[in-house]
Amino acid sequence: MHSHDEPAFDTENFLASAGLGRTIVKLGSGTTFFSQGEVADSVFYLQAGHAKLTVVAKNGKEAVITLLSAGDFVGEESLASIGTLHLATATATTDCSMVKIERAEMLRVMHQQGPLTSTFIQYLLLRGMRIQSDLVDQLFNSSERRLARILLLMAKFDEPGESVRAISKISEESLAESIGSTQSKVSFFLNRFRELGLIDCDGGIRVHKALLNVILHDDFPDDNAIKPPITDIPRRKAKPVKPSISSK
């Protein structure tokens, strides 16, 4: 309980500013928040930009688990126990700004402040549901529909607001990795969406809510339209990453 003299806890301010156990960090595209196998000692809250969470198998094959955008947490495994290792690598795909919260500080505030705990738990539940949906999407939907869904998620059309929304700059290569396809197919589908009036691509991507309606009503044009040849997705060896900012 708060005393009458003690101001209510401001979750938004806590996640927007530096302070005890909290540091504002800015990363350029291609820089890692943390790497797979490193000790997890902090939680990150992404304030601006986009990132991806990837895993690398022992044979060197890399897979994208999910894309991250402003309002997302990552590194929550650090709260499990001291010495826990990161099971994936988080990498900025655009310039990013975030607050890095040390494990002890995050646990302390969550223990004392219900609003932050509620925000964090709600996020974890929603992300778990999204990852489950991503898996279903990967198993049962075409790459065209997977791309449409990723664009809608990045534009946050799961929240109320404008009928046209811009998303932060992201490369066709990153989009291809996120849907398990090739860059040439992503380019083809983006052009198709543009021709159908579902997106604009003038200096960036602006997504129209009409794209959501097309998916909900299963109303994509005939899939027999000419498309790039379907080839096996090339398997890439994991690329060297830039130094992580995590403390050793």
| 157 shares its domain with 111 | no
Q: In what order do the strands lie in the sheet with 96-102?
A: 22-27, 96-102, 42-48, 73-74
112-141 average pLDDT score? 84
Q: How far is CA 173 from the centre of its chain?
A: 15
| 157 shares its domain with 117 | no
**Mean predicted lDDT score pLDDT of the chain:** 82
Fill in the amino acid letter for 1.
Answer: M
CA atoms of 235 and 243, how far apart (whole Å): 24
CATH number of the domain encompassing residue 32: 2.60.120.10
Three-class SS state of 89: strand
β-bridge pairing 89-92 and 50-56: antiparallel
Encode pLDDT of 9-22 as tens digits.
Answer: 899 999 999 999 99
Can you tell me which residue has the tokens 């401001």? Answer: 10
| 159 shares its domain with 67 | no
Q: What is the pLDDT of residue 225?
A: 42
Residue 127 lies in a domain: yes
pLDDT higher than threshold 90 for residue 97? yes
Boundaries of domain holding 196? 143-216
| 127 shares its domain with 101 | yes
Q: What is the pLDDT of residue 170?
A: 80
Give the number of other CB atoms < 10 A from CB of residue 95: 15
For the chain, give the percent of residues with pLDDT over 90: 40
Concatenating the DSSP letter of every residue in 121-183 gives: HHHHHHHHHHHHHHHHHHHHS-HHHHHHHHHHHHTTTTSS--SEEEE----HHHHHHHHT--H
| 158 shares its domain with 205 | yes
Q: Which CB contacts under 8 angstroms, 24+ apart, belong to 171-176? A: 171/93, 174/50, 174/52, 174/67, 174/93, 175/147, 175/150
| 21 shares its domain with 97 | yes
| 79 shares its domain with 150 | no
For the chain, give the percent of residues with pLDDT over 70: 83
pLDDT-based confidence at residue 121 (cuts at 50, 70, 90):
very high
CA atoms of 128 and 241, how far apart (whole Å): 27
Encode pLDDT of 28-74 as tens digits.
Answer: 989 999 999 999 999 999 999 989 899 998 888 888 888 888 999 99
pLDDT higher than threshold 80 for residue 87? yes
| 85 shares its domain with 178 | no
77 vs 60 pLDDT, higher one: 77
The dihedral formed by the CA atoms of 138, 144, 148 and 149, expressed in degrees to the nearest 10? -10
DSSP one-letter code for 246: S
Q: How many domains does the chain have?
A: 2
pLDDT higher than threshold 50 for residue 232? no
pLDDT-based confidence at residue 85 (cuts at 50, 70, 90):
very high
pLDDT-based confidence at residue 236 (cuts at 50, 70, 90):
very low
Q: What is the pLDDT of residue 243?
A: 52
| 187 shares its domain with 118 | no
Cβ partners under 8 Å of residue 164, min gap 6? 200, 206, 207, 208, 209
Q: What is the pLDDT of residue 175?
A: 86
